Structure 1
Amino acid sequence: MPRFALHDWLTNFIPHPGAPEWRERVRRAGGALLGIAFTGIATHLLFGRAGDIPMLVAPMGASAVLLFGASESPLAQPWSIVGGNLVSALVGVACAQWIADPVLSAAVAVALAISAMFLCRCVHPPSGAVALTAVLGGPAVHALGFRFVAAPILFQSFALLSAALVFHALTGHRYPRAAWRVTAPASGQASGQASTSSAQLAPAQQAGAVTDPQRLSFDELTCEEFMTSADHAVPLTMGRHAAWEMLRRHGVHALPVVDDAHRFVGTVTHHELANGQPVGLVRRLWRALRRKTVQMEETVEAVMASGVQAVHRATPLAHLAAIFADNSCYEIPVLDDARRLIGVVKHTDMIRWLHQHAGAAYADAARPLADAS
């Protein structure tokens, strides 16, 4: 048994199989080239004559990897780079001035920078290097003092971010990507109520029947009691073309996207998957040509929709009406306390429920009139 446990642990070091297609790799590398070049040239033109402002600081190279190479990551969003670099620079300069020992100063600077980024919700890994640069950057950096925060750090952060925004827009890539939102349950709803598995709920819900016919109020009915199973969820690493086939096979408008722990991270819709898909008579030929490179194609993580609304399982069903109306979506993911995907609520099921119960209420109201006549 220990041998198998060791083998399973070692498999965690295997490189991630997902990788973008070669055109996407070239696009991302070209973006980093242009971004760093623009940042360096802009710094030189504005501060070159001063002589004491570094034309480029090393952490900007790491930021470029995220902004251009992994722009889908929450760590690569605008507030992450600007806020992360800002608070880390402030912490680093303060530690450099107030703690004499460089090793202790560096350790404290990185620790406090991480804490500040968590507090400000702007975690950006290269910002740890910003804090270190403020401490170990040498006499030139130390001479700048707190001016180091504004120039070069803040200026170069904005310059690199501006280059990324323009580059992604010109190349047709969605950036930034808003974080998905979860609607919390209303007050009075117990978030820790007993959970019913989606597999148990699916048959009754697919039949369009509510288990308790007396509960006719949306405010009393929760999403967990109304949802259907999310058997069409796909992993982050699934290829775009494989997800396209799955979407067509299930006949749905969108596929929920989950991570390795089955936590909901977004959705990929027909619009994203259809982009670049062949149509007409060339479809079979295209599939044959792509068959050998399916492992290297773009993944759903790179094309999935952002700003997706999700709800907690204890959320009253009435709250979903506004979400459906405002977001023009076909289904809303339902999450448990650990933000794992446990089902979806479809707008067609809500319409069917309303039709059935509105019809029943109308019949009950009309029956006394019929008896009186």
Structure 2
Amino acid sequence: MPHSKKPKSDGRFRMFAPILAGATLRERLIACVGALIGIGLTGLISSYLLGQGPHLPLIVAPMGASAVLLFAVPTSPLAQPWSIVGGNTISALVGIITASLIHDPIIASGVGVSLAIAAMSLTRCLHPPGGAAALTAVLGGPVVASWGLLFPFVPVGLNSCILVILGLLFHKLARRNYPHVAAIANVNTHQTADLPASLRVGFREEDLDAALAAFDETFDIDRGDLSRLLQQVELQATIRAHGDIRCADIMSRDVISIDASADPAEARELLLKHNVRTLPVTDENGRLSGTVGLRELSKAADRIGDLLSKAAIASDSDPAFSLLPVLTDGHAHAVIIVDSERQILGLISQTDLLSAAARALPGSQIGV
């Protein structure tokens, strides 16, 4: 029996094989460049501010570990600015105090790291390199001891602040999200007490809490990010299950639209006549410019072009169920299907997608 060959790509860039969820070669290369710049400039700036010499370390070793978190996993709660600055500085301070009270280096090492974890936990700045900062303060020898209580702030605190500032600039230039801001929870756009429509099915927040309690472990991911990730998993599973249904299969092709130079009264008349909630607006070349509905038309203007809202768009080859997040967010009532030139090909309303979903249900008799 012939043996199947292993794909050639399996062995490529093995050293950059993802070891974390979402890790890619590009992300790892960005992390390498970031660490090179961050550590290099931190040392350079510190030497400029403090001078060089055996009396003071140029840059403390825990900064290397901080750079790994800052540039390789910037979304981690352990890599945020307060975690880096507070974790390293507070831990170094704990280490200095421990070393002054306990003179046995082995006992002091264990106690220092243990108390550093406790201090970081209480001050909400847990940062793994903080353990190394505490250990450095305990075992640093005469150089560290000579600086006493100043050591946690110079160079540890100074190094940490410089590294974070460089990280902020680097991630901004690399267009990465840092500091990582937890996603804003979905809200009911109708300003009622009900949950948003997208959150009324599937798992709920209490289910997530129960699952975390059942594992009884700590995970290096923000709880809000975990919730968003699971919601995206549900969506991708739905798209995969119904991937054979494309936007072209369910879209309306006889689309009622209006020119941007038209009078708002004409747009209002079209909305009411055709019983639609979203009216695509085109420019002089027939390309989609935006949309209007009764909400936009409630404002005063001389032409439709002054009242536009941004249009939700998709391609005719996109999976139809990929429009679920857009059409259930409480804002968009329709998605405009356009080509590469933004010429209108069709329109998918909430009703169109709901009908497709109903027909996809097992044993559906709709339309029969």
Structure (1 or 2) with the larger CA radius of gyration: 2
TM-score normalised per structure 2: 0.49
The normalised TM-score by structure 1 is 0.48
